[in-house]
A and B are shown apart, each in its own frame.
Chain A
């Protein structure tokens, strides 16, 4: 069974710092991997989706990479801002479970002014 782990569980950084969030998964037979942002008490907003054939995706200050063979993805946030404070979740879609996203536990990020 696919398991997804995110480290660290919480992270606090000063404004302006570049940071990396990590996501690892146990089964490399994935269709895609997605990064989401969740603000307290709110739903999820999709940030980046990487197909299994891709190595990375970029959107503004965000860059997500995927190394399927090692079961890892990273989300790089450049020049962090207080508005980036939120929980970041990664989720994988397995080749044999088209409807079932498996989520990590999330990384709670706080960017201090």
Chain B
């Protein structure tokens, strides 16, 4: 089955803690993306990567970091610098810059 998986489904973060959200795809897509969705709102781009070992900031990158060491994986770390991390995080991938993006099931991050 080809697709995008995200884990965990729910994640709890304590104050001052860094947490990492996993995103894996087996679609052989070059490009991968991380979005944040707040209640009742659309998606905002955090980071994207067009190719392995390269990534670019989106509109709201502050307080987040990413890596792209493998084509199929694009983990997102929510650092302690992100003061309002509670949101729904969605990962997506596409075969190229201008192609349709396919989305994973999402991870809901909550602060304890």
Total B residues in contact with A, Cβ cutoff 8 Å: 28
Given the complex of chains A and B, what is the CA–CA distance between A36 and B92 in angstroms?
A: 13
Closest to B45 in A: A100
Q: Would A42 and B50 be within 8 Å (CB), given that A4-B42, A31-B98, A99-B31 are in contact?
A: no
Contact B42 A103 (CB under 8 A): yes
How many whole Å from A34's CB to the nearest CB in chain B?
A: 7
Give which listed residue, B40, B45, B105, contacts A42 with CB less than 8 A: B105
> With A99-B50, A100-B45 in contact, do A49 and B103 touch (Cβ < 8 Å)?
no
Q: State the majority secondary structure of interface residues on B.
A: strand
A89 CB contact (under 8 Å) in B31, B43, B92: B43
Number of interface residues of A (CB under 8 A): 26
Residues from chain B with a CB closer than 8 A to the CB of A31 are 98
Whether the pair B100, A34 counts as a contact (CB closer than 8 A) is yes
Interface residues of A (CB under 8 A from B): 4, 6, 9, 31-32, 34, 36, 41-46, 49, 89, 91, 93, 98-101, 103-106, 108
User: With contacts A42-B105, A91-B43, A99-B31 known, what are 9 further pairs, Cβ within 8 A?
Assistant: A46-B101, A91-B42, A98-B97, A99-B33, A99-B45, A99-B97, A101-B45, A103-B43, A106-B42
Write the residues of chain B forming the contact surface with A, with a CB cutoff of 8 angstroms.
4, 6, 31, 33, 40-45, 48, 50, 56, 58-59, 88, 90, 92, 97-98, 100-106, 108
3 A-B pairs closest in CB distance: A103-B42, A98-B97, A43-B103
Q: Please name 25 pairs of A and B residues whose Cβ atoms are closer than 8 Å in the assembled complex, sorted by A.
A: A4-B42, A6-B42, A9-B40, A32-B98, A34-B100, A43-B6, A43-B103, A43-B104, A44-B43, A44-B92, A44-B103, A49-B100, A89-B43, A91-B42, A98-B97, A98-B98, A99-B50, A100-B58, A101-B43, A101-B45, A103-B43, A103-B44, A104-B42, A106-B40, A108-B40
